[in-house]
Amino acid sequence: MPLDPLLAELEQNIAEDLSVERLAGAGLFSRSQLYREFYSATGHSVKEYVRRRRLSRALALVKHTDMPLEQIAQECGFGSPQALCKSVKAAIGQTPMQYKAGGAEYYFPALEDRGWQQPVTVSSETIPPTLCLRYYDSRLPGLEDRALAWFFAERPGYNGRIFGRNGKQEGAKLCYELYIEAENADRPAFSGTTAAATFAITSCPNAEREISAAWDYLYNDWLKTSMYTMAEHPWPYFEEYIHVNGQIKRLQLYLPVVKRPGFHRIQLCRCNDMQFLAARRSCADAEKAASKAVMEFLAAHYPRLARSARQFYVSSVPEFGPGLRVAGSKLYVCGVALQAPLNLSPGRNAAAAEVEIITRPAGEYAVLEGDCCGDTGAYEAVLASWARGMGLNVEKPPFAVYEAGGSYDRQDIRVKIYLPIEK
296-312 confidence digits (pLDDT tens):
999 988 999 988 888 99
Identify the weakest region by mean pLDDT among 191-200, 228-237, 351-360. 191-200
Burial class (CB in 10 A: 0-12, 13-18, 19+), 374: middle
pLDDT in tens, 213-258: 898 888 877 887 777 888 877 777 889 999 988 889 899 999 988 8
Strand partners, 268: 366
CA distance 10 to 25: 12
CATH 3.20.80.10 fits domain 265-420 = yes
Q: Which fold has domain 4-107?
A: Arc Repressor Mutant, subunit A (1.10.10)
DSSP type of residue 183:
G
Amino acid at the residue 36: R
Query: Distance between CA 409 and CA 372 in Å, rounded?
Result: 10
**Alpha-carbon Rg of the chain, whole angstroms?**
25
Kindly state the greatest CA–CA separation across the chain: 73
In the sheet with 355-360, reading across from the earlier edge strand, the strands are 104-107, 264-271, 363-371, 413-420, 399-404, 311-318, 330-337, 274-281, 355-360
Distance separating alpha carbons of residues 55 and 63, to the nearest angstrom: 12
Query: What gap in Å lies between CA 63 and CA 94, rounded to an integer?
Result: 13
CA distance 313 to 304: 18
Identify the residue with better confidence: 353 or 279. 279
Per DSSP, the chain holds a count of helices (H) and strands (E) of 14, 17
What are 129's strand-pairing partners?
Answer: none
Cα 178 to Cα 151: distance, rounded to the nearest angstrom: 8
Top-confidence residue, 231 or 324: 231
Mean pLDDT on 64-70: 90
pLDDT for the residue numbered 190 = 38
Where does 121-259 sit in CATH, by number?
3.20.80.10
By CB neighbour count within 10 A (0-12 exposed, 13-18 middle, 19+ buried), where does 129 fall? Answer: middle
Question: Which residues neighbour 260 within 8 Å (Cβ) at sequence distance 6 or greater?
Answer: 227, 228, 229
In this structure, the chain runs to a length of 423
For 117, phi and psi rounded to 5 degrees?
Answer: -130, 140
| pLDDT band per the 50, 70, 90 thresholds, residue 346 | low
Kindly indicate the confidence band of residue 4, based on its pLDDT and cuts at 50, 70 and 90. confident
Contact by Cβ (8 Å): 402, 312: yes
For CATH 1.10.10.60, the residue range(s) in the chain are 4-107
Q: How many CA atoms lie within 13 A of 177 on its CB side?
A: 15
Are the CB atoms for 275 and 323 separated by under 8 Å?
Answer: no
d(CA 180, CA 163): 7
Q: Where in the chain is the domain with CATH 3.20.80.10?
A: 121-259, 265-420
